[in-house]
Structure 1
Amino acid sequence: MNHRQFSPGAVLADYKPQLNSKFQGNPFIEALPPSLSEQELGELLALGPDFSPEQRNWPDVERIQKAFGLGNIMIPLERHIAVANCVDSMLRNGYVGREPLTKRDGERMQALYEGRSCSQGFVGAYSDGTAQLSAMLMGLPGMGKTALVKRIFSYLPQVIYHPESNRYQVTRLHVEMPSDGSSVKGLAHGILSQLDRIIPGAQYYQECALKGRPGADALMRSVARLMHRHAVGFLIADEVQNVVHARKNSQVVMTELVSACNELGVPILFIGTNKAAQVFSLDFRQSRRACGHGIPLWNALDRASGEWEEFLEVLWGYQWVRKPVEYSEKMSELMFELSQGIIDVAIKLFAAAQVGAIRSGDEMLTPSLLESVYMQQMHMLHPMLSALKRGSYEDILRYEDIAAPSMAQVWAASQQSAAWKQKYGAAAGFSGE
């Protein structure tokens, strides 16, 4: 998987033969590192601090620093492998039919140019009938969705140079949806700035966004042209729930983004909290894009499947207190009770409890210490965690980011229909307030 460095920020293409006939002869696919096995994926995704029992004899300040370093830990589970397999498949299949220096490649570039000069929208400018590859990674905040995707792509060079076509291939772009949910220009500026950062010598932001102060349509046309020129292989649209904040049409940014990727054949992975379900529930086309491809709903870790225990047993081994406590069912139950299976909450609770034990001199994790840390340091999370624990629709729906998609979709629909709320609201437990 080693690539010879070509220039800062790019590697020289190193072509590999392909077993899949659909991938053969396609430089954009042949230049990618081989797909990883499940074992290799597990090794890639695993991330944790170096640890040895001898570190428990270190000075207090050093051990506290180690405990706080747990915030970056990643413990691969079956759900992580499923997402990694999906992303890899989407990336490679998205390049099918996009070979450089072909008639189709030239036609697509011409169509993009004509659409720009005529100030046309994306839809209808070019289409080859290829099914759009898209998926949604949606779930509770604090479950490591964005960190996972970044980790998955970490073994792929982001920019590959192809001497024969004199072309820089960009394997992926990771953009955040505009914070106001409706700024097409904000989305375009983000993409242009990223391309400037990773393409040697590029000044696309200055050329496309500043000269002549183009409108949103013209700006997105320039973005599409550049994404085609640099063979962008994958687009990660993060913080999709921001679209809900749009003051007017919440579908404008999504439509522009999806239309561009439809024309270019670029797969999209949408990442968002459960609040994003409100966006997808308004449009069947958008809902269809969120389904399939084997990506599970990113809910809290489940005890019944053994997923929680698998995670906590690994985490529990990172104890820098001088009197480490063995993993037990009792501790597992308590940690789950306090964190409700949310990865980020569990890690922070575990780290903060160790810091408390070191500072107090007790040097031991105890149930009372964990409960004390939860009460004193995580009080802002209590309403949300309590709502998850009770499982009450009415309570959970007060917090849109944690409401399960089916619940969020029902509520979004109900907001558009006063008759629905009047007829069914009370029976369903929705107050409408």
Structure 2
Amino acid sequence: MKNKIYLPNGVEAQEACYNEFPIEEYNTNPFIQALPLLADKKTIIKKLMTIPPFKEEERELDSSYRVHIVQRLYKLFQPLPQHVRIWNMVFSLVFQGYMARNPFDKEYIRYVNATGKQIINRTYDINTRTDFRTTANCGLLIGYSGMGKTTTVNKVLNNMPSVIVHDTYKGQHFNQTQLVHITLQTPHNASLKALSLQFFMKVDEILGTNNFKKYVSRNLSVDAMLPLMGIVSQNIGLGLMVLDEVQHLQNRGVQQMMNYFVTLMNSFGVPVIFIGTPASYPIFQTELRIARRVSGSGEVIWNNMANDNEFRLFLESIWRYQWNQKFTHLSEELIQIFYEETQGISDLIIKLFVNVQQMAIYSGKEEITVETVKRTVKENFKMMKPMLDSLRSGNPYKIAKYEDLRRIEETHNKRIERLDQPEKKMKQNIIKVNQVADTISSSIKPKHKILRDYTNDDIRKVFIQANKSDVSPCLLLLEKGYIDEMSIGQGDHFL
């Protein structure tokens, strides 16, 4: 049993207890040995799973209680393959990031002391190459809003101690407080100064230190703050920095922000995890220095679930938690309507299931039916309708209107392709359609009149009608529904 320690500011910490790993190089570094043992897939699932309390007799309670009890479902967490992948990514980044930062390695101690003196004397240059070779990488978690990106990372980090207090290591005095991970929110204006200030305040809040007062002054520039962040990270043995809502970087300052984090990784050895919506993906595509670090196991693309076994597993895992008086078995019809109305977004699945039960309780029907699901969606999902309609259409141009819903497709060779600048591509496609239409239209003009009886759904009939009426084939195809109409609002333009 690991002993808990409370810091002077009341924050709970853990007394260092050193584990032996089958990996030899992990057993010479106190920062690594103080971390929990690595887990297999079965253990990961068990640690992540959260099951709400449930008793069948609760279905007999008065409706005024049951409409509250059903909200327990918001605490449910059903692990899926993507969650296991994120767990492994997080643990790998933390363990590997500490490899080059062994506080008992003479070369590393010499580097930390030299760097610290330079920073204090304000002679440190972040562009100067050093002998320190970092083992820190960065992770990338990009996915739809509502899929549980932040929740999953937080649940994984909850299985690591946040603060570890060391005293002695293998008989040697080692007075060290280790901060394993810290989570920061990307400022809405992508301000590096605001992010730096947030770092110092968050560290002080957790450890009860006074770094903000010690290092920060009103006129301190961002270039001066970054080395100070680095030296604080070294002093507290920071294992991982998580940067959430990274899509805010697209507003401005992308290049400067990327330089910022590359320096943090290269010069001070701190791994970083970026979490964001699909809107942030182009940021990393244009930065080779970041892209090469997230390639492989450090990149998780999390789209909405397809209507497949994974979706059914998720729905089946929550279906038993019904507080209506009449238990409804999960039918194929209900599976299809739930997918149709949520498009496989896990947060919406839970919300719909909760609201459907509440609707059944309020109405007195006390059972889940397709009609109840449709009524619930109509009354409670009004704001989501345009987004869900765009997903249901499968039209990439309509989906592109909502930046946090753009699907990122992963190809067989693990490279990621994204539909950039949809308006520009749409214009190009319309030109191509017109060119093809003109070609086909001219090619179907026979030298001798030949009677052809095409069916109404035959596209060749459209071109013949266009030829006879002197109407553009493209317009007629649009009218007949063969081409999706893309409405261009006032002020919009093609790129």
- Same fold by TM (over 0.5)? yes
- Code of the residue aligned with 1:240 in structure 2: it is V
Cα 1:68–1:90 change in 2 (3 A) is same
Q: Distance in 2 between matches of 1:326 and 1:421?
A: 45
Distance in 1 (alpha carbons) for counterparts of 2:429 and 2:331: 46
CA distance in 2, matches of 1:212, 1:185: 11
- CA deviations on 1:307-363 (whole Å, 9 max, x unpaired) are 001100011111111111011221111100100000011110110111111112111
Aligned to 2:477: none
User: What corresponds to 1:195 in structure 2?
Assistant: 203
Aligned-pair CA distance for 1:152: 0.6
Q: Quick one: higher RCO (CA 8 Å, sep 6+), 1 or 2?
A: 1
SS, match of residue 174 in structure 1: strand
* Residue number among 208, 215, 230 corresponding to 2:215 in the alignment: 208
| Shift of residue 3, structure 1, vs aligned partner | 3.4
- Structure 1 equivalent of residue 5 of structure 2: 5
Residue deviations 1:116-170 (CA, integer Å, cap 9, x gap): 6436553435453345422211111000010001001112110111123321111
Give the corresponding residue for 1:219: 225
Code of the residue aligned with 1:367 in structure 2: it is V
CA 1:330 to 1:121, structure 2 compared with 1: closer, same or farther past 3 Å?
farther
1:22 partner SS: helix
Q: Quick one: which of 42, 48, 52 aligns to 1:45?
A: 48
Residue type at the aligned position of 2:494: G
Correspondence 1:241 to 2:250:
no
Give the Å deviation of 1:265. 1.8
Paired amino acid for 1:41? I
Paired AA for residue 372 in structure 2:
L
Amino acid at match of 1:342: I
AA aligned to 1:135 is G
Q: Which string of whole-angstrom CA distances, capped at 9 and with x for unpartnered residues, describes residues 64-103 of structure 1?
A: 1122232232110111111112211221111112111432
Aligned equivalent of 2:176: 167
The one of 29, 34, 43 equivalent to 1:31 is 34
Q: Deviation of residue 212 (structure 1)?
A: 5.3
In structure 1, give the amino acid aligned to 2:2: N
In structure 2, do the counterparts of structure 1 residues 254 and 196 end up closer, same or farther at CA, with 3 Å as the change threshold?
same
List runs of 5+ in structure 2 lacking aligned partners.
Answer: 168-172, 410-415, 434-483, 487-492
Q: Which residue, out of 399, 403, 407, partners 1:400?
A: 403
1:382 equivalent in structure 2: 385
Q: After alignment, is 363-372 or 288-297 more displaced?
A: 288-297
Distance 2:89 2:302 in 1: 14
CA distance in 2, matches of 1:49, 1:390: 35
* Secondary structure of 2:276's aligned partner: strand
| Equivalent AA in structure 2 for residue 191 of structure 1 | F
**In the aligned structure 1, how far is the partner of 2:3 from the partner of 2:159?**
11
Paired residue secondary structure (2:194): helix
One-letter amino acid of the counterpart of residue 171, structure 1: V
Q: Which moved more, 1:75-84 or 1:103-112?
A: 103-112
Give SS of 1:86's match: helix
1:432 aligned to 2:441?
no
Query: Any idea what SS the aligned residue of 1:300 has?
Result: coil
**How many corresponding residue pairs?**
423
> Per the alignment, in what secondary structure is the counterpart of residue 275 of structure 2?
strand
CA distance in 1, matches of 2:382, 2:69: 24
Cα distance per residue 1:4-30 (max 9 Å; x no partner): 425343222111122201101110011
Alignment of 1:2-401 (within 5 A): 2-5=2-5, 7=7, 8-9=10-11, 10-103=13-106, 104-115=108-119, 117-118=121-122, 120=124, 122-124=126-128, 126=130, 128-163=132-167, 164-181=173-190, 183-199=191-207, 201-209=208-216, 211=217, 213-246=219-252, 249-293=253-297, 295-304=299-308, 306-401=309-404
- The structure with more radius of gyration: 2
Q: How has the CA–CA distance of structure 1 residues 172 and 12 changed in structure 2, closer, same or farther, with 3 Å as cutoff?
A: same
Query: Following the alignment from structure 1 to structure 2, what is the Cα–Cα distance between the partners of residues 105 and 425?
Result: 63
Cα pair 2:2 2:14 within 8 Å, conserved: no
Separation in 2, partners of 1:127, 1:426: 56
Pick closer, same or farther for the CA change 1:295–1:252 going to 2, 3 Å: closer
TM normalised by structure 2 equals 0.80
Q: Indicate conservation of the 8 Å contact 1:122/1:260, yes or no.
A: no
For the 8 Å contact 1:82–1:295, the answer to whether it is kept is no
CA contact 1:274–1:400 (8 Å) conserved in 2: yes
